Structure 1
Amino acid sequence: MSTSKISRRGLLGAGLAAGAVATLPLGARAASHGGKLKVAGIYTVPVEQQWVSRIHIAALAAQERGEIEYTFSENTANTDYPRVMREYAEGGNDLIIGEIFGVEAEAREVIPDYPDTAFLMGSSFKSDPALPNLATFDNYIQDAAYLSGIIAGAMTETGNIGMVGGFPIPEVNRLMHAFMAGAKEMNPDIKFQVSFIGSWFDPPKAKETAFAMIENGADLLYAERFGVSDAAKEKGILAIGNVIDTQPDYPDTVVASAIWHFEPTLDTAIAKVKAGEFAAEDYGIYSFMKEGGCSLAPYGTFEGKIPAAAVEMVDAKTAAIKSGDYMVEINDAEPKSS
């Protein structure tokens, strides 16, 4: 595997070799390097972080299949993001993936300058026909979050659940609301403590926030951020994971997790770039459960420990979601404590 990890300051020289291909239409460049697309990822946090890790894993899988050549830059500050976008575009990459939640306006000023480069970006806003080479996505995994809530509602004994998130943006809010709706399926009187730490990656702060919730009666935590499950483990209570399956690290703590699968999103973009059909579209649908974009993690160490009624409801709701007979509500409003 030839994945390269490039610092966000080490790309300037790459543009010199790109001039000969910079004017080729979307998808045409692949033929100039063995049919493989050149794909670059730009991430504002470490690739180990939950959300970004799912994009990174999907890109590594596509490279392993021989479809792309993949390089990436992590820990890119928002102030540097537009510059790194330009450097990757000028470096001859066919497709640039990443997340522009904190730099929407600046990123959308860069994209028109590179009409022969496809951009697939996580965004709180929709695609714009005026930017035909920008497609947007986010993690619409409310289906799996709802199912994890059912499990949580069955496992809490006090009916008091603590929820720690990064920022109250739509991508987080909709998952919290779906989780809360699932929990209320088992117990409509459940109370929720909701707090946001103002960071995507600050495990100590998330842990301290979780400790406060436990002191206030929570016996189960929704771990939208790293650090929350550590607090649950230390205090001997349960947690529900988000985006990735952390049960192997917390076998006696994490009961279930809503998993995001970025592969349907990325694979669709790769195919469209290769076919010359990439356009301004909303890729959010590819995170839906019926598209294979999310799932509930296996129960693992908690197999047989979850009340049968909850397991049966999860199975029934999963089937209904996949068939289209049941739609989990998408609520992007900021959730509040009960």
Structure 2
Amino acid sequence: MHSDSFKFAISRRALIKTAGASALVAAAGLPSRLFAADPIKVAAIYTVPVEQQWVSRIHKAANAAKERGDIEYVYSENTANNDYERVMREYCEAGHKLVLGEVFGVEDAARAVAKDYPDVAFLMGSSFKPDAAVPNFSVFDNYIQDASYLSGLIAGAMTKSKNIGMVGGYPIPEVNRLMNAFMAGVKEVAPDTKFQVAFIGSWFDPPKAKETAFAQIDGGADLLYAERFGVSDAAKERKILAIGNVIDTQADYPDTVVASALWHFEPTLDKAIAEVKAGTFKADDYGVYSFMKNGGCSLAPLGTFDGKVPDDIKAKVAEKEKMIKGGSFTVEINDAEPKSS
């Protein structure tokens, strides 16, 4: 499905329409043929629906950039892995200058397409690093371990059974690091906490995530880490607590979701748009733009739970957040698969 909606945010700065500027752009490499006030054509390819947590943040950022007039934006959702390369090529042939997406299952094909279209910039969610051999292919990931750690501090104070269930999509780095950071936060407050860790083998299967969560509740969990949709539904039905991931769902679960680690894709996308418009886009790792110190993540307001989280924990969270932003405390990036304990 091709649509002109919202997803993946972007930014500003443009080239001056002079022969001298054109020469500089050509010398810098990519892209070319951009003029001062022209929005760049951006296309995004998603393997899941745009309401899925991770992709929804990209979509939101892209729509914000579109509304600012920085980009034109189209997207495809629910694109199967075996169809991903074809859709990429179609967007390139249609003149899009920046292509966004997630290529966790189609790395080789995506990089091959990028090689065939050197004048197109690619910014792709990936577990792998940029390659100088494909200078127009940059990677990003949601490095929101800072906010995940802070949510763990809160969870450690809120669990009474000291038994927490965690349901993830796949045990890949971008999921593992968030779970590990969350677990580290929990252990700092409640070191004797046990974890039940499970992966459902899907990025979007709410019924399966819900059933997995029910099993963990039956196993003694009184708080769930909702890395996937469906987990908070199980928590709500069984009247236990949940911690959200990537988006804030407390409005939908006011008595269930205590806190959430939020991902803000805007800094990542804005940086890429600025590079494309300046003709300086190159193979790079944009992961750092998801760090808290760069505005790429935050802890959602406690909202309905503001009066229920202990004051000493709220003070600890505020202190740690200040330290993270100031650089005096660094949350470990641990991409190893988390295990039940």
State whether TM-score is above 0.5.
yes
SS in structure 1 at match of 2:242: strand
The letter for the 1-side match of 2:4 is S
Query: What is the alpha-carbon distance in structure 1 between the residues aligned to residue 34 and residue 65 of structure 2?
Result: 14
Match of 2:180 in 1: 177
Query: What is the alpha-carbon distance in structure 2 between the residues aligned to residue 31 and residue 100 of structure 1?
Result: 30
RMSD: 1.3
The letter for the 2-side match of 1:29 is R
Residue among 21, 27, 30 paired with 1:26: 30
The answer to whether the 8 Å contact 2:40/2:72 transfers is yes
The letter for the 2-side match of 1:225 is R
- Pairing of 1:1-80 with structure 2 (within 5 A): 4=4, 26-31=30-35, 34-80=37-83
Match of 1:156 in 2: 159
- Pairing of 1:190-229 with structure 2 (within 5 A): 190-229=193-232
SS in structure 2 at match of 1:31: coil
Match of 1:21 in 2: none
Cα deviation, 1:235-292, whole Å, max 9, x if unaligned, reads 0000000000000000000000000000000000000000000000000000000000
The answer to whether the 8 Å contact 2:138/2:285 transfers is yes
Query: Gaps (5+ residues) in structure 1?
Result: 7-23
TM-score (norm 2): 0.92
Residue 292 of structure 1 pairs with residue 295 of structure 2:
yes
The answer to whether the 8 Å contact 1:30/1:38 transfers is no
Match of 1:17 in 2: none
Cα deviation, 1:288-317, whole Å, max 9, x if unaligned, reads 000000000000111111011211110000
- How many aligned positions are there? 318
Match of 2:313 in 1: 310
The answer to whether the 8 Å contact 1:29/1:94 transfers is no
SS in structure 2 at match of 1:272: helix
The answer to whether the 8 Å contact 1:251/1:301 transfers is yes
The letter for the 1-side match of 2:38 is G
Query: What is the alpha-carbon distance in structure 2 between the residues aligned to residue 63 and residue 93 of structure 1?
Result: 14
Cα deviation, 1:46-92, whole Å, max 9, x if unaligned, reads 00000000000000000011100000000000000011000001100
Deviation of 1:31 after TM superposition, in Å, equals 2.2
Residue among 90, 96, 99 paired with 1:96: 99
- Pairing of 1:277-288 with structure 2 (within 5 A): 277-288=280-291
The answer to whether the 8 Å contact 1:5/1:73 transfers is no
SS in structure 2 at match of 1:173: helix
The answer to whether the 8 Å contact 1:30/1:94 transfers is no
The answer to whether the 8 Å contact 1:41/1:73 transfers is yes
Residue among 273, 288, 294 paired with 1:270: 273
SS in structure 2 at match of 1:79: helix
The answer to whether the 8 Å contact 2:5/2:63 transfers is no
Match of 1:257 in 2: 260
Query: What is the alpha-carbon distance in structure 1 between the residues aligned to residue 242 and residue 248 of structure 2?
Result: 12
Match of 1:18 in 2: none
Deviation of 1:5 after TM superposition, in Å, equals 5.7
The answer to whether the 8 Å contact 2:32/2:119 transfers is no
Query: What is the alpha-carbon distance in structure 1 between the residues aligned to residue 83 and residue 285 of structure 2?
Result: 25
Residue among 73, 85, 88 paired with 1:85: 88
Query: What is the alpha-carbon distance in structure 2 between the residues aligned to residue 67 and residue 109 of structure 1?
Result: 28
TM-score (norm 1): 0.92
Deviation of 1:27 after TM superposition, in Å, equals 3.6
Q: Calculate percent identity across the aligned residue pairs.
A: 73
Match of 1:120 in 2: 123
Query: What is the alpha-carbon distance in structure 2 between the residues aligned to residue 27 and residue 117 of structure 1?
Result: 7
SS in structure 1 at match of 2:177: helix
Query: What is the alpha-carbon distance in structure 2 between the residues aligned to residue 196 and residue 117 of structure 1?
Result: 35
Query: Gaps (5+ residues) in structure 2?
Result: 7-25
Match of 2:250 in 1: 247
Deviation of 1:109 after TM superposition, in Å, equals 1.1
The letter for the 2-side match of 1:183 is V
The answer to whether the 8 Å contact 2:153/2:185 transfers is yes
